[in-house]
Structure 1
Amino acid sequence: MAKIDPTARVENPAGLADDVEIGPYAILGPDVVLEAGVKLHAHVVIQGVTTIGARTQVFPFASLGSAPQSVHYKGEPTKLVIGTDCMLREHATASTGTVGGGGITRIGNGVMMMTGSHVGHDCTVGNGVIFANNAVLGGHVSVGDFTFLGGQCAVHQFTRIGAQCMISGLTGVREDVIPFANVLGQAGKLVGLNVVGMKRRGFTKSDLHAARAVYRDLFFGEGTFDQRLDKVRQMVGESAFAAAVVAFIDADRKRPICHPARGVIKED
């Protein structure tokens, strides 16, 4: 049987696995589902059509599944889906989706949201993503697996961030970021590759050497960006980095790609 503190308020027919723990003064709406091993600490509020995956922990004063912060939302039963083994710390927030954005906000498995971080409506967050304190996503943002979002960074609505990126603290991201990139600055610009993260994910020295060559060709080579991208396409069969970057760019050409500041290239 679920362990529910007597001061908590759980509206029927909320779906609770048998081993769920719900702390003091927590509030759960009727359309909330908590899977096996979920633990809610004190003063957590979960509303809307929200599902929280197995073994996820939610810490005090987090608010999940609230109505999206969108002037177009008219009370439709949209959803928030949070994966397994996540850690959502104090004052973390995430909204449900909107009908116009597909209706679902998704947070993957093994995600850590530190204090004050926010996931806006209709966002898609991959697996293993880390939000440092007060990192925030506007609506309709997508973030790839194993990306790190530094403290107090802010990501503009509709922006795409590729897998295994490093977004530095206090950075504003308003352009799409290729996979494995390192972004820095108030108006965020590329400052090289997330070499530390790439090494942790198993990239060898030869892999890193090839990735640096692709990065130089794409952002510092001759010709227009499309011409340089065509050159990188020829490397797809030889470089996993080139394949990931080309696939990311081709997936959506509507928004601009984040570039390095003029003349900047970093060797890690």
Structure 2
Amino acid sequence: MNSIHSSAQLIGEVSLGEGNMIGPLVVIIGPVTIGDGNWIGTGTVIGAPPEVGSWEHPMDAARLDTGNGILIGNGNVIREYVQIHQGWRETTRVGNNVFVMNQSYIAHDCVIEDGVTLASSVLLAGHVRIGAGANLGLGSSVHQRCYVGERTMVGMGSVVTRSLPPFSKAYGNPARVHGANAVGMERAGIPEGTIAVAVAMYDRPYEKSLQSLAGLPGVGAAVESWRQRSATGA
């Protein structure tokens, strides 16, 4: 069973799993698929058309369901007045156990991996990818097609204009890497030896030192993923 407030509106092709709470004044416009156990707060809009100038915006209020879809997983908390837009080229995706705080914006074609935290008023431009377990501070923003790597911590108010490597701490305008996110790595159960290498590595320019983490326990796959996606802008 799902709990859907009487003032919420589900328009078009909207598929819900079980145990979801859809709060007051929520608007969900398909095509949207939502899994199980999600909490969606007041005034959230999921499924508005992609904000692309060339997109043919529907002029018929009865046919608002347009776009390449949104897929939301399980156990997510999406707080008040969040906006998640339809995919343009691909599907906009939110994974599992993601915490999106109030008034955040997830643009078309974004991919939010499992366990991510977006603090209040985080802004993600189109085609952004946020790696698993990353944490973006209040009011930070990410330029289109950037990839924020796994377990990266982005400081509040930062402006991310280039991809950030996994397990790093970054802040500023433009955001720059300022060491390793050792706390996040510890919480993820990454071995102490690997954490020590990361701390030492991020004391140097990471572009020249990222190979130091390749293949190490707990981080090798994330490093390779970041290399591939940051290189292609995917």
What TM-score results when the alignment is normalised by the length of structure 2? 0.89
Q: Match of 2:186, SS?
A: helix
Q: Match of 1:94, SS?
A: strand
Q: Match of 1:190, SS?
A: strand
Alignment coverage as a number of residue pairs: 225
Q: Match of 1:36, SS?
A: coil
Q: Please, which of 74, 93, 97 is the counterpart of residue 106 of structure 1?
A: 93
Match of 2:84 in 1: 94
Q: Which has the larger radius of gyration?
A: 1
**Conserved 8 A contact 2:32-2:69:** yes
Instruction: Measure how far apart 1:71 and its partner are.
Output: 1.1
Which deviations, in whole Å up to 9, do the C-alpha atoms of 1:80-136 show, x marking residues without a partner? 1111111111001100111xx22x100001111111011100000000111111011
Q: Match of 1:253, SS?
A: helix
- 1:22 corresponds to which letter in structure 2? I
Q: Match of 1:184, SS?
A: strand
Q: Please, which of 223, 226, 229 is the counterpart of residue 245 of structure 1?
A: 223
Q: Please, which of 163, 168, 176 is the counterpart of residue 181 of structure 1?
A: 168
**Conserved 8 A contact 1:89-1:114:** yes
**Conserved 8 A contact 2:14-2:33:** yes
- Paired with 1:248 and 1:49, the residues of 2 have a C-alpha distance of 29
Q: Match of 2:70, SS?
A: strand
Give the 3 Å change call, closer, same or farther, for CA 195–66 of structure 1 in structure 2: same
Q: Match of 2:231, SS?
A: coil
- Paired with 1:201 and 1:123, the residues of 2 have a C-alpha distance of 24
Match of 1:154 in 2: 141
Unaligned runs of 5+ in 1: 1-18, 220-224, 256-268
Instruction: Measure how far apart 1:172 and its partner are.
Output: 0.3
Higher relative contact order (CA 8 A, sep 6+): 2
**Conserved 8 A contact 1:26-1:43:** yes
**Conserved 8 A contact 2:23-2:40:** yes
Taking only the aligned residue pairs, the percentage that are identical comes to 28
Q: Please, which of 82, 94, 98 is the counterpart of residue 72 of structure 2?
A: 82
Q: What aligned pairs does 1:183-198 form with structure 2 within 5 A after superposition? A: 183-198=170-185
